[in-house]
């Protein structure tokens, strides 16, 4: 199972297609609290994706909460290459990987397939 935090419906659709192609289930929401509630089997979550354009997320709080809720999952954050501060904040807040949106988009099938 893969969890996605975003409010970008267009990119969400692209991610959803890649996840379905990989034979996995995707749970999407805009808040940590709701995505945790909606994930019926937290131990089955293998990947948490965070769209850094979701400005409502306080990364210093959200990333540790996600790592606690989904202990066996890798946390990957992605965002615009020009938003250097937000990318750095995600790294400093404990994300396992931080990619630009271009890098994430290019490697999407590989990322969700692993």
Distances (CA, A) of 57 to 27, 68, 93, 103: 17, 16, 12, 21
Q: Which structure tokens are listed for 85? A: 């501060």
Give the pLDDT of residue 55. 86
Q: Over the stretch 19-58, which tens digit does the pLDDT of each residue have?
A: 999 999 999 999 999 999 888 888 899 999 999 999 899 9
Owner of token pair 């034979």: 23
Residue 103 has a CB neighbour count (10 Å cut-off) of 14
Position with higher pLDDT, 55 vs 13: 13
User: Which letter does DSSP use for residue 29 in this model?
Assistant: E
Q: How confident is the model at residue 99 (pLDDT cuts 50, 70, 90)?
A: very high
- Is 3.40.50.2300 the CATH classification of the domain at 2-113? yes
Q: What is the pTM of this model?
A: 0.94
Domain boundaries, the chain: 2-113
Helix, strand, coil percentages for the chain (3-state, nearest 5): 50, 20, 30
- Edge-to-edge strands, sheet with 47-51: 26-29, 2-5, 47-51, 74-79, 97-100
Query: Does residue 77 register a pLDDT over 90?
Result: yes
pLDDT above 90 (res 1): yes
């Amino acid at each position: 199972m893969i969890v996605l935090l975003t409010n970008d419906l267009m990119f969400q659709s692209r991610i959803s297609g890649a996840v379905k192609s990989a034979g996995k289930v995707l749970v999407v929401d805009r808040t940590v609290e709701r995505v945790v509630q909606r994930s019926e089997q937290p131990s089955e979550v293998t990947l948490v994706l965070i769209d850094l354009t979701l400005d409502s997320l306080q990364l210093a709080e959200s990333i540790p909460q996600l790592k606690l809720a989904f202990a066996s999952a890798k946390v990957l954050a992605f965002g615009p290459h020009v938003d250097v501060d937000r990318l750095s904040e995600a790294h400093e807040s404990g994300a396992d990987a931080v990619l630009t949106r271009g890098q994430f988009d290019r490697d999407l099938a590989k990322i969700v397939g692993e």
